[in-house]
């Protein structure tokens, strides 16, 4: 937690206190994940994400958690992901990509570490990654049409697509035995060398998502074209690697 910005550390201390008061000894672990854990938190753009592990989950405990969540929502703390230990084990099989994202970028705030000695099946990871890549591409095209090609819709659409794409890219690196740690910018940098995919459009959208650039109404459609083409290349490259037996 001490790697988080000071204002986030203060928020986390308050959130932990409130959940401990609300749920008491029922808490097995509280884990910080997402942009804060990856040290990519941007004030005004990022959320604060928590995973709470409990032995069982009752409606009463969910109600108490809802009260705490409402209290901290104005500070950017989203409603926690609440799971039992057995459910976390199941996630490793059913949602291996999300599980790896948890495991590689998290901070234990309270209790026992739930990720020790847990692993992911490579074939399940490949299958989910392929499904997510195709889903991302199809949604991108469909929602562009739904949004009427309006610049404001394109901006939201590109940010959502990139958010979903980053875990897929990390998963491809894992399957290829390539490094997966580092910032999002570093992960995007590796696209050129690892997958022979041009990364420029992804970097442009990442900077826009982080509030570091603001493409205008004339530039956004052109950025969409570059991003769409690059995403199509990633999907095609994944299929090639699969056919070659490398994934």
pLDDT tens digit string along 105-117? 899 999 999 988 7
In this structure, of 1-15, 51-65, 181-195, the range with the lowest mean pLDDT score is: 1-15
The token pair that represents 223 in the structure block? 């950025």
Per-residue confidence (pLDDT) for residue 213, from 0 to 100? 92
Could you tell me the residue ranges of all domains in the chain?
6-111, 122-243
18 vs 92, which has greater pLDDT?
Answer: 18
Average pLDDT over residues 65-78: 96
Fold identical between 6-111 and 122-243?
no
Span 122-243: which CATH code? 1.20.120
The token pair that represents 113 in the structure block? 């570490």
The pLDDT mean for the chain works out to 93
Q: At what angle do helices 96-104 and 122-146 cross, to 10 degrees?
A: 100
The token pair that represents 180 in the structure block? 């997966």
pLDDT at 2 over 70: no
Residue 216: which pLDDT band, with cuts at 50, 70 and 90?
very high
Q: Is 235 exposed, middle or buried (0-12, 13-18, 19+ CB in 10 A)?
A: middle
SS3 56: coil
Span 6-111: which CATH code? 3.30.460.10
Cα–Cα dist 246/241, whole Å: 5
Residues 6+ apart with CB under 8 A from 63: none
Q: Per 3-state DSSP, what percentage of the chain is helix, strand, and coil (rounded to 5)?
A: 65, 10, 30
- Helices first, then strands: H and E counts in the chain: 9, 4
pLDDT at 3 over 90: no
């Amino acid at each position: 937690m001490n790697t988080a910005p000071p204002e986030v550390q203060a928020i986390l201390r308050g959130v932990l206190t409130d959940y401990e008061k609300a749920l008491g000894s029922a808490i097995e672990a509280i884990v910080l994940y997402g942009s804060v854990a990856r040290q990519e938190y941007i004030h005004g753009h990022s959320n604060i994400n928590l995973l709470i592990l409990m032995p069982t989950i009752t409606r009463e405990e969910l109600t108490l958690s809802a009260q705490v969540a409402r209290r901290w929502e104005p500070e950017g703390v989203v409603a926690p992901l609440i799971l039992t230990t057995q459910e976390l084990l199941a996630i490793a099989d059913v949602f291996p990509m999300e599980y790896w994202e948890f495991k590689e970028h998290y901070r234990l705030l309270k209790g026992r570490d739930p990720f020790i000695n847990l692993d992911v099946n490579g074939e399940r990871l490949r299958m989910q990654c392929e499904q997510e890549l195709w889903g991302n591409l199809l949604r991108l095209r469909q929602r562009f049409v739904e949004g009427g090609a309006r610049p404001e819709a394109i901006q939201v659409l590109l940010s959502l697509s990139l958010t979903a794409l980053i875990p897929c890219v990390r998963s491809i690196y894992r399957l290829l035995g390539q490094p997966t740690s580092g910032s999002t910018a570093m992960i995007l940098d590796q696209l050129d060398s690892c997958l022979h995919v041009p990364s420029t459009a992804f970097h442009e959208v990442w900077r826009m998502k982080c509030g570091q650039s603001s493409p205008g109404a004339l530039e956004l459609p052109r950025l969409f074209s570059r991003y769409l083409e690059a995403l199509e290349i990633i999907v095609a490259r994944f299929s090639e690697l699969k056919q070659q037996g490398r994934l």
